[in-house]
Structure 1
């Protein structure tokens, strides 16, 4: 008596369809990245949401876009030239456990502060990319002997940290 009923329940006449493609995987929340601007000659981290995946080069591009108008009204600025004039003069490489950022021009006498902006933003991106690993050392080089290394230990915590 149970066997016919079980058979009726398992074969309800709906054919199997297999996997149905319905777009890409769920993406969740857009990644958040800390970028570092200057306020009174010290660094301050601010949040940025990215539309795509985070990598070191995209983090540098976001930094070079500069602070928003609202952030500028709060006194934030950058010592780096704007993205349009700078991106062609910035080379970012990540190899052998190290990140190197080469500048073809250094912004006046602000080389140390510019390097700190780049180092802290790069380290923040590395923490988004691989939160379980420690950040790779970052070296900022440029003309005039600019050669600054850092691991982010001197970077201030941002608003979401």
Structure 2
């Protein structure tokens, strides 16, 4: 995993939330993931905060904000739809999101045998939208409570954006 350009702490997340969503400012905050591109924090019981860890990931957050609402309308599984598009501040230099919390396991933690139904789901979504999904995306997905989007949005976004 590459090093973070910006280290995101609970204190930074608390300041961002209090500044831009004061109605959520007193919700408990806990880091739940520190991935290749983004840090994810649980915000209360029903929300998550996602922030890019490095400049290369900023476009991923912007793509989530743009595409996830439409994907959620077509998806048979829960999708973490953004409920707030965070703005850069002196505490944090890039866009960030507050989104619905979707419980489940990371797709990478699900064995190959458990991923098959998701391939059918992604193919169905692809056919319904007129977009083609790459084989690498379909092969990497999980199903149901598996948080399929965490492992495959980068590929889906680049496919949707590049046409």
User: Which category of TM-score, normalised to the shorter sequence, fits these structures?
Assistant: under 0.3
Larger Rg over CA atoms = 1
Greater helix fraction, Structure 1 or Structure 2:
2
Q: TM-score, normalised by structure 1?
A: 0.26
Q: TM-score, normalised by structure 2?
A: 0.26
